[in-house]
Each structure stands twice: as C-alpha cells, then as structure tokens.
Amino acid sequence: MRTRRILLAVVLSIVVSSSLLAVSCAQERKNYVVHLDPREDGIVADSVELWHRSFMPEATPESAGDDGPRIIYSYSHVLSGFAARLTNEEAEAMRKKEGCLRLYPEEFLPLATTHSPGFLGLHLGNDGFWSRSGFGRGVVIGLLDTGILPSHPSFGDAGMPPPPKKWKGTCEFKAISGGGCNNKIIGARAFGSAAVNATAPPVDDAGHGTHTASTAAGNFVENADVRGNAHGTASGMAPHAHLAIYKVCTRSRCSIMDIIAGLDAAVKDGVDVLSFSIGASPGAPFNYDLVAIATFKAMEHGIFVSSAAGNDGPVAATVGNGAPWMLTVAAGTMDRAIRTTVTLGNGQVFDGESLYQPRNNTAGRQLPLVFPGLNGDSDSRDCSTLVEEEVSGKVVLCESRSIVEHVEQGQTVSAYGGAGMILMNKPVEGYTTFADAHVLPASHVSYSAGSKILSYIKSTPKPTASVTFKGTVMGSSPAPSVAFFSSRGPNKASPGVLKPDITGPGMNILAAWAPGEMHTEFADGVSLSFFMESGTSMSTPHLSGIAAIIKSLHPSWSPAAIKSAIMTSSDVADHAGVPIKDEQYRSASFYTMGAGYVNPSRAVDPGLVYDLHTNDYIAYLCGLGIGDDGVKEITHRRVSCAKLKAITEAELNYPSLVVKLLSQPITVHRIVTNVGKANSVYTAVVDMPKNVAVTVHPPLLRFSRVYEKQSFTVTVRWAGQPAVAGVEGNLKWVSDEHVVRSPIVIPPAKAVV
C-alpha cells in the first residue's frame, strides 16, 4: 500500500561543482544542459538544432553503436542551449568552446478543493467578481507536473469556450478511455523520462499533477468528498480557464532537462500563467539557476509564473524560487478540520485530525494508553521499534517521525496489534496537524497537546484514552495560519527582496485524484476520485488560478502588475481580526508569510500597482554584482552594467520594501500606477514601531486618469535604539475605496542568509 506523501515542493540544486562532474568511467555518458551565448545574427528556428549540433563532438567508431540520440532537447524560447549526452572528456572540451557559457549536470528532483474557493471569498452568484471574470475564461494555465487524468470529471469542458486563437500547443493523448483533450485540457505533452506510457504519455501516474491541475482550474463537480469528509462542490480557482499539461515528472523524480523543455514548450505554445509546484534550493545565484533563467524569458513573454516556496520550514533562509520575476508562494491553513478527539482517563480532552474516520469504531471506549519511548529510545518514541506485547490492544502515543511517514507509523502500530494511535508533533511542528489517510483509528495532535498526554502517561499507573471521530468541522481557529513546513525567508540569492511573496491555502486541500492501484490510500482498498494533500505544491496552484482570474479581468496587465495586486491586497489579520499566526501561534513575520494571506476579492481591484519590466530587472541584476556575463546568462542579451544605472535590491519597484538600515537614513524610490478610478486621491499611512521613523514624500498622491504613474520616496531612519532583532511594519496608500499595503522590513543586524 502506498503511504501518503506530503508532496514536498522540492529541493532543486543546480550549482556546478567538481564533485558533481566526477564519474567512474571516462567513457560513460551523462546528461548535461549546455548553456550557450545567445546568437545575435537572427538565427531562425529551423536552424537552431543545426547550430546546437555544431558544438557536439564528431562521431567516432566507438560512438557509432551508442544507443539513443546525443542531443536530447534543443531549447529556443527560455534558454539558449540544449541538453545532450556527453562523456567527461567531451564535457570538458565543450566548456572550452567559444560560445559555451556553462554546463549543468542533470539533476533529478523528487516532487515538492471543495472549501478553499469559499474560504477565499469565491462564491457563485451573478454579481460577484468571480462570475464577472468568467471564472478565468479565455486564460491558459500551464502546469509542469506529473501529468493529468483527463477522464476525471474535474476536467470536463461544460461551459468552456474553445481554445484561444493564439494557442499553438499539441495534445499527445492517444485513445484514452473516457477522456482526452477537450476545451478544458487544450494541450498535453510528456518529456523525457516522464513519458512512461507510449500510447498516452501525459497520463498522471502519481496523483500530484491531477491534484494541482484541479486546484488551479478544475471545473465544478458536485458532491465531491473523501469518504464523506469535506463534502461539497469542488472547483479550482479558475474553473473556466484552459489547462495545458507538461508532464516533466514521474512518480519519484523530475529531470531539470525535462523541466526546461517543458518551460520552453509552454512559452512556445502560448500559455498565460505557469504553475510550478517544484522547488529550488536556496542560495544559488540566479545566473546559476536554470529555472530562474528560464522563467525570466517567460516573464518577458508576458507569462505569470507562480512557484512553490518549498517545504523546508520553519528554518530561516530556506525559501526557494526566489527570483523577483516569480511569485513565491507559502502554505497556510484554512478554517476546516477533519476532527478527531482524544479523551484521557482523567477527563482531559484534546482535538486532532485524521482523514480516516471509521464508522464502526469503539468511540468513547477507554483503552490502555502506552508511550513506547518512555525509556528514551528515539526509535521507540516514533514507533519505529515496537514490541507486540507492549502495544497489542492499546492506544499508542507516537512522536511524529517526519511529515511524509505519518501513515507508515500507523501501519507499524497496526501491524503490532495496536488498537489506535495518537500522533504527537515535535516541538518545531507546533500546532500544524494533518488529515492523513490512516489505516487505524488515529488522531494527529499538536506538540502542546502531545506533551500534556505524555505527562498524563508518566503520572498515571494505568493510563487510558479513547479516540472519537467528529467528521468535518467548519470554523476552526485560528485561521488562517502558516504551516510549519512552509519555507522561510530571507532569500539567500537576493536577501534585499522579500520572499516568500504571499501565502495561500496549502493544508489538507481536497482536489481531484488519479484513482488506481497505486493511488489507493485506505486499508479497505477503496479507489478515490478526490483526495487531500498538503504542501506548497498545493498553495501554488491556488495562486495560479487567482492570477488567471485577474488576467481574465485585466488582460493587458503585466506579470509584475498582477503580482503587485495580489501582494498589496493581502490580509495580515486572520478571521478573528488578530495578526495571522505561525505554527507556534505567534504572530507570523513577513519572512514567514510574505506580504500576507491572499485575498482574491481585493486583488482583482487593487487601486494601485507597482509595475516592473525587463529593463527594471536588468538594472537590479547589475546591482547584485554578478557582472555583465552573469546578467547576460539570465537575460540572453549583452549588457554593460557600467553604462546602466544599476540599482540596489531596495530600489527595485517591488510591492514590498526590505531596508538594510544601519546608522544613516536610507531613501528608496517607488512608482505606482493607478488602475482604479480616474480621479483618485491616496494618503500615505505608516505603521511602524516607535524606534523607526518613516517619511513618505509626497504624502499625498492625486491621480486624474487611469494608468497614470506617480513616484514617491520613502526615507527610513532609526528614531531610537536600533533593534538588533529587526523591525517590521507597513506603508499603506489609503483612498476612499482602497488600501494598498506594502510590508516594510528592517532585517536583523545579523540576518541568516
């Protein structure tokens, strides 16, 4: 039986080192991505592969019988270069060729709703912005993932228009029973090792791609649930947007070569939004980051890129996909719980979660309670090592081993005769609990609850407990909060730009699933059409769909304008009106949640936007100090930073401000564009601690027309004792109808980067 995966938005490392280049045999061929200096002689598309072949070594008698093509992909839209199979000697020779910028060894990467639309304020009705947007009508969302199950009802095309005239994509489905491409799925391709099925290569064999695709743009499906839990009408954020599927991952891994090929095809095909639930390791300079390089070209083509922040939290400086031309998405909770309740023999009661809600359970019946780890053995604490005589017929308290092994822990307890399991968090996991598909009566509880249960066990000669099942409970609080696993800033590659950008729903998300033998999650072998998963892989397609809604309403907006609308309209207070919390129920910092929790109803009408275009990013890249060659590797154009006005990270016209404040005041410039009413007046309102003085000039902005631009400066200085731990606050431009909020962050004196 397959265990439930958290589906981590994954670690992507593409920094070239000599250890990565070592191979055991000189003639062994390995896969490389070859990055070339872009040609400036107007080479036509048909000649690209011939040019790429000119870099390859001549055929020899030894290579004549070699299996497979030497050039695997020729890239032309997001990267100047190709993927090829080379020996060590051939790779070394290619590095020395004129026009070769860099070689990247192939990396294989593991993979990183019924209620979330309503939780985000997306409700059916003739007068709501969701329906006015046509539910994302006419927008094409491209997903790079594990493929899709085209026969799933979430991908029916009822109410869908035909593909837009600009669409150039292809469909590789071949005679799929009950499904294929239609007006919902307008394109589907598979790449390299992901093309595991010759007759239908883009079919999902992992569930992940089907889940993310339906989260972004699944059509309306009534009576969706998981074994009766979370029952309702399921839909994606943009249920009438088109889907283009690029299968670049198998069940276990994604190749960087396939990822770049998928991005290249998506740009060529004409997608509007890219959903990228695959992560990147923090710290790689952008000119060494193939995903950052490829998505820069996507941005230049007007494509909005939504990407996963990663699941390496709560450790600081773990956020990935941190390029400022990408939206970097953190994962948060909602107010829905799949409730279980633990009652101890002394009457104490603790709430937890479990997707497995047995109908014929021994609810309320007290059973012996045991903690195998009382002897201090770590293998016993997490129930890796059990003794049948000690756990048989009892409720077993286990410490969380890892977020991808919760179901496995329950399987072990069940195998040794345990009657139930209480899974307690580790300290760093705090109050984040998962609705897992357990195989026995179980309850996942917080660290706080688990500690009290453990204290009870230690203080009682014969401890007992019962686990009861409450099903779906709405209105749980606090909500939203940030999940413990969501990766945190600052961004190592560019700490002067706040990352992550935004938080979206990423905990216990119900969405379409790919049922089958390898997708059965429960002990009784029931095949599921919908399933719950968690991770920044799940929050990312929420933002992809919301971007599609904004794009549908505002087709001329740039990717940066859409990002600005999402960030400046977000929430920093939860549904109770208090600051959004992290996994420890402390106020979440901007390095934890980005600008805030997404609020799509305000994002479609933000009032003002902070816009950015290619030249702005070039000036910013020059300011990073990566040199002319480094800027050229990213932008595919020759740049002389000495002749440009390079800017600091703080001066990039971003919707948030990170100010590295020392002893002297710092002044940064910003430009806003009026996208609200023609005649509008905005007043600057600053919310900062008393030891920081912020001056905005001018303090009043008057607009007389739509798309009018106005500039202002923000000067920040210490007004008291400098705060070693750092300071956070907000700048708000307030009109009669809008509040346009930008976070202001003064990093700690010794920030973790």
What amino acid positions are annotated as catalytic residues? 145, 208, 537
Beta-carbon contacts of residue 405 (< 8 Å; ≥ 6 apart): 3
Burial class from Cβ neighbours inside 10 Å (0-12, 13-18, 19+) for residue 178 reads exposed
Nearest to 209 by CA among 189, 230, 233: 189
Beta-carbon contacts of residue 132 (< 8 Å; ≥ 6 apart): 553
291 with 299: CB under 8 angstroms?
no
Helix, strand, coil proportions of the chain in percent (round to 5)?
Answer: 25, 25, 50
155 with 173: CB under 8 angstroms?
no
Residues composing the chain: 753
H or E element that contains 552: helix 536-553
* DSSP conformation class of 571: B
Quote the CA–CA distance of 291 and 35 in Å, as a whole number: 13
Quote the CA–CA distance of 705 and 734 in Å, as a whole number: 17
Nearest to 277 by CA among 327, 226, 218: 327
- The token pair at 661 is 């404040």
Distances (CA, A) of 623 to 61, 287, 404, 417, 454: 50, 14, 40, 62, 54
SS3 674: strand
Quote the CA–CA distance of 151 and 214 in Å, as a whole number: 12
* DSSP conformation class of 160: P
461 with 327: CB under 8 angstroms?
no
> Residue 269, by phi and psi: left (phi above 0), alpha (psi -120 to 50) or beta?
alpha
Peptide bond before residue 698 is cis, with ω within 30 degrees of 0: yes
The neighbouring-strand residues paired with 710 are 672
- The CA-CA-CA angle for residues 397, 377, 347, to 5°, reads 25
- The token pair at 463 is 């401890």
Quote the CA–CA distance of 273 and 243 in Å, as a whole number: 10
202 with 169: CB under 8 angstroms?
no
- The token pair at 351 is 């709430």
Q: Identify residue 297 by its one-letter amino acid code.
A: K
* DSSP conformation class of 507: S
Q: In this structure, are strands 242-247 and 140-145 parallel, antiparallel, or unpaired?
A: parallel
Q: For the chain, how far is it from start to end, CA to CA, in angstroms?
A: 41
HEC readout, 161-223 = CCCCCCCCCCECCCCCCCCCCCCCEEEEEECHHHCCCCCCCCECCCCHHHHHHHHHHCCCEEE
Quote the CA–CA distance of 188 and 177 in Å, as a whole number: 16
